[in-house]
């Protein structure tokens, strides 16, 4: 991307002020309407400009009735041939119109006596609506209509008609009027384009005003296909600007945090070396590389911000433990935060087992810790000396928790936390003007194109190598009609001394969802496999009971564990070599991959059997094909991004990204490398253009990362 030869700072002007004028400055907008518009995120004139249509309707020409097909949305004109009130299950007004090329029925379920009187034989109407198949040909239910001889009906629209996101009390017509007023102001006052033109030259994208005019009022004959898909250059222009705004926001957050003071953790590595010796295995090359990157960050006097991506079983937790030991050796505390109590307990157990020989205490702080025990733990954490490592859930950043010397925060499964949550924990470590380092781990690999936008505030390390001795998991997709074969397969695996999982989506039978419930499946398998010891685990068990069942399975006291997706994370049983997943067609790729990762953790050959119920949708078939074709979590993640989009992949709590107005990270992935380059140019040469750009797209969320 070519950069401008010299910076050009945009001055504040009447146009910039006009963009930020409250929406009440527009004619016809009082406090009541403004309150309703606020539900759509519209508070200023600028907000109206960036409230983009969901779709478009072509009302620019009249369509002959005879050429209509079911599903068409069109303007038609014809003469009323018949009008009658019918009683077919409910009272309704039926109006048949004809234009000589064909006839069509207008059906009204809600109508007044005045309407009935107006819609009489011989009246000529101009109507708009969606044609659908009726009992006697095509019909339109509750069309928009006017008499053809009225002043309003004498003309057709001079552009495609936008359909905007709706909210209660604000009709489409009102939104069209308001966006027209906003466009007129933007034209009159010359809305500012905060992107230097040369940044867009290589992309062939239009100026901002042209793009806004086109997306709000496409001309007659505009191709609806690229507009519907979000691929028109005008939409791409706006998507590029929005992606750039989010990139700049995260980059600024990153720079602000790195300007803060941190704790330089320089040690001899004695504890870490002793721990390595006790492991009984060598780290992989990928683990060594990532650990070196982490330790280099820990040595500098500014806070580390590093994301470690690694597939299930790649050894992220061991790397985190080694990093933690450097902080402990330096005389500081470490906090490890997990999204669920189950995963927090798993981490705590691992750390306790690993660090007991080193005589390093590990505390577990979860929601179920109450009373005197909780207060004692909180006091010890606040003292900072007796509890060097604290593991917990979101309970770690509650108001009552105070750390004495927190220098390293480790966050597992970042996609399940919002930016605010991890930043809140960071703020808890502020002591003497210094902030803790952050190490963030995820077993949900994210494609590079998404990671470079989603985590622009973080350095990214990848553990792309599994420990030696791991046999690839064989994935088989089977219809539920072959359930008996699967049961026999379990019997054989358990007879050879192995263990198995059987995962069901629901706990109880449901009349609405045709899932196999865990309790019903457990009962059926107890009958079918009387020789096996079969346990049941699901979210409605008491925590004590659930932990007891899982502990029994881990100790080998159970052959088969029937469970809901509660076992998606947190259970590590090397002897388990067979995973059966019910109704796999209804699960997402990320979840299926996580479940599959529960097996294959030992040296034995492992299998994952995905049972499905016909008929399969095209999306479900694609997902199952991906699972069958690859064990690579990064490839699964890439395909997941293609099939379902970034929202599902990152999780619903990923702040900022899910609130994009125009951009779609899957559809617009090809723009992301240009976005990164543009961000560099903006930061270096156009810093004054960045604040108004962020206000335009992010508004009050500009500082969502700072708590």
Domains contained in the chain, CATH given: 14-56+162-229 (no CATH), 61-156 (2.40.50.140), 259-463 (3.40.50.300), 474-630 (3.40.50.300)
Check if the beta carbon of residue 164 is closer than 8 Å to that of residue 51: yes
CB atoms inside a 10 Å sphere around CB 619: 11
The angle at the Cα of 705, spanning 699 to 707, to the nearest 5 degrees, equals: 105
Beta-bridge mates of residue 90: 88
pLDDT for 654: 39
pLDDT for 18: 53
Cis preceding-peptide flag for 615 (omega within 30 of 0): yes
Half-sphere exposure of 632 (CA within 13 A, CB side): 9
Could you tell me which of 308, 215, 321 has the C-alpha nearest to residue 275? 321
Beta-bridge mates of residue 534: 560
Check if the beta carbon of residue 65 is closer than 8 Å to that of residue 99: yes
pLDDT for 9: 36
Determine the longest span between alpha carbons in the chain, in angstroms: 96
Specify the 3-state DSSP secondary structure of 386: coil
Check if the beta carbon of residue 36 is closer than 8 Å to that of residue 170: yes
Give CA 284 to chain center in angstroms.
31
How far apart are alpha carbons 12 and 20 in whole angstroms?
Answer: 12
> Could you give the residue ranges of the DSSP H alpha helices within 56-171?
113-118
**DSSP, res 670:** G
Check if the beta carbon of residue 672 is closer than 8 Å to that of residue 452: yes
pLDDT for 513: 54
pLDDT for 581: 94
The angle at the Cα of 418, spanning 657 to 390, to the nearest 5 degrees, equals: 155
Phi-psi region of 310 (alpha: psi -120 to 50; beta: other; left: phi over 0): beta
| Tokens 């470690």 -> residue | 308
CB atoms inside a 10 Å sphere around CB 151: 8
Residues with Cβ < 8 Å from 451, sequence gap 6 or more? 307, 309, 460
Half-sphere exposure of 432 (CA within 13 A, CB side): 6
Phi-psi region of 561 (alpha: psi -120 to 50; beta: other; left: phi over 0): beta
Could you tell me which of 70, 210, 41, 86 has the C-alpha nearest to residue 140? 70
Residues of the chain short of pLDDT 50, as ranges, are: 1-12, 511-512, 647-658, 701-707
pLDDT for 570: 55
Strands 124-130 and 144-147: antiparallel
Could you tell me which of 579, 571, 568 has the C-alpha nearest to residue 490? 579
How far apart are alpha carbons 133 and 145 in whole angstroms?
Answer: 19
How far apart are alpha carbons 329 and 348 in whole angstroms?
Answer: 19
pLDDT for 655: 37
Beta-bridge mates of residue 138: 133
**DSSP, res 470:** P
| Tokens 């026999």 -> residue | 488
> Could you give the residue ranges of the DSSP H alpha helices within 356-444?
371-383, 419-428
How far apart are alpha carbons 203 and 236 in whole angstroms?
Answer: 9
What are the tokens at 71? 């599903």
Average pLDDT, the chain: 84
**What's this model's pTM, rounded to 2 decimal places?**
0.70
């Amino acid at each position: 991307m070519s950069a401008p030869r010299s910076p050009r700072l945009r001055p504040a002007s009447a146009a910039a002020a006009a963009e930020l004028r409250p929406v009440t400055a527009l004619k016809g907008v009082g406090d009541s309407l403004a309150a309703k518009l606020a539900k759509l995120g519209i508070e200023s004139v600028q907000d109206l400009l960036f409230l983009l249509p969901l779709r478009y309707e072509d009302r620019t020409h009249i369509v002959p009735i005879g050429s209509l097909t079911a599903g068409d949305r069109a303007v038609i004109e014809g003469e009323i041939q018949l009008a009658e009130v019918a009683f077919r299950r409910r009272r309704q007004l039926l109006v048949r119109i004809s234009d000589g090329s064909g006839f069509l029925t207008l059906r009204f379920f809600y109508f007044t006596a005045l309407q009935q009187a107006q819609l009489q034989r011989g009246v000529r109407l101009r109507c708009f609506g969606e044609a659908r198949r009726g009992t006697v040909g095509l019909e339109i239910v509750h069309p928009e209509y006017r008499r053809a001889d009225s002043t309003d009906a004498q003309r057709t629209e001079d552009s495609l008609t936008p359909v905007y996101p709706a909210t209660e009390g604000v009709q489409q017509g009102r939104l069209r009027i308001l966006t027209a007023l906003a466009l007129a102001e933007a034209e009159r006052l010359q809305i500012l384009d905060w992107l230097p033109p040369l940044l867009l030259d290589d992309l062939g994208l239009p100026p901002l005003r042209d793009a806004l005019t086109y997306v709000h009022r496409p001309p007659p004959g505009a191709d609806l296909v690229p507009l519907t898909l979000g691929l028109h250059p005008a939409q791409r222009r706006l998507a590029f600007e929005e992606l750039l705004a989010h990139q700049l926001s995260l980059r600024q957050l990153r720079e602000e945090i790195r300007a803060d003071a941190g704790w330089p953790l320089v040690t001899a590595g004695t504890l870490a070396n002793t721990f390595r010796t006790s492991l009984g295995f060598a780290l992989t090359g990928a683990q060594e590389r990532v650990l070196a990157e982490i330790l280099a960050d820990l040595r500098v006097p500014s806070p580390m911000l590093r994301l470690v991506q690694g597939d299930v079983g790649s050894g992220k937790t061991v790397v985190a433990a080694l990093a933690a030991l450097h902080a402990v050796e330096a005389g500081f505390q470490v906090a490890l935060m997990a999204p669920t109590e189950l995963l927090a307990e798993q981490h705590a157990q691992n750390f306790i087992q690993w660090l007991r020989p080193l005589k390093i205490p590990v505390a577990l702080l979860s929601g179920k810790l109450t009373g005197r025990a909780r207060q004692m733990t909180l006091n010890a954490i606040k003292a900072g000396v007796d509890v060097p490592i604290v593991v917990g859930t979101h309970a770690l950043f509650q108001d009552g928790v105070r750390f004495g010397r927190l220098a390293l925060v480790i966050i597992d499964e970042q996609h399940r936390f919002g930016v605010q949550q991890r930043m809140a924990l960071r703020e808890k470590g502020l002591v003497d003007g210094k902030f803790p380092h952050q190490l963030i781990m995820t077993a949900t690999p994210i494609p590079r194109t998404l990671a470079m936008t989603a985590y622009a505030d973080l350095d990214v390390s990848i553990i792309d190598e599994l420990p030696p001795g791991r046999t690839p998991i064989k994935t088989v997709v089977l219809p539920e009609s072959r359930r008996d074969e699967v049961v026999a397969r379990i019997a054989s695996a358990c007879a050879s001394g192995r263990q198995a999982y059987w995962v069901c989506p629901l706990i109880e039978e449901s009349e609405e969802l045709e899932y196999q419930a865990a309790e019903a499946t457990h009962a059926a398998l107890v009958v079918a496999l009387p020789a096996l010891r079969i346990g049941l685990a699901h979210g409605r068990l008491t925590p004590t009971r659930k932990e007891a069942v899982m502990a029994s399975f881990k100790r080998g006291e159970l052959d088969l564990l029937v469970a809901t997706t509660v076992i998606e994370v947190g259970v590590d049983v090397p002897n388990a070599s067979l995973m059966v997943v019910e109704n796999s067609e209804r699960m997402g790729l990320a979840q299926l991959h996580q479940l599959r990762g529960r097996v294959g953790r030992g040296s034995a050959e492992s299998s994952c059997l995905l049972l499905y119920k016909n008929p399969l949708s095209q999306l479900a078939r694609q997902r199952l094909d991906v699972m069958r074709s690859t064990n690579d979590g990064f490839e699964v993640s890439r395909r997941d991004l293609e099939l379902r989009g970034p929202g599902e992949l990152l999780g619903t709590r990923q702040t900022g990204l899910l609130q994009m107005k125009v951009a779609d990270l899957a559809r617009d992935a090809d723009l992301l490398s240009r976005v990164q380059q543009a961000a560099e140019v903006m930061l270096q040469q156009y810093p004054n253009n960045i604040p108004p750009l962020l206000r335009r797209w992010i508004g009050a969320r500009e500082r969502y990362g700072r708590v």
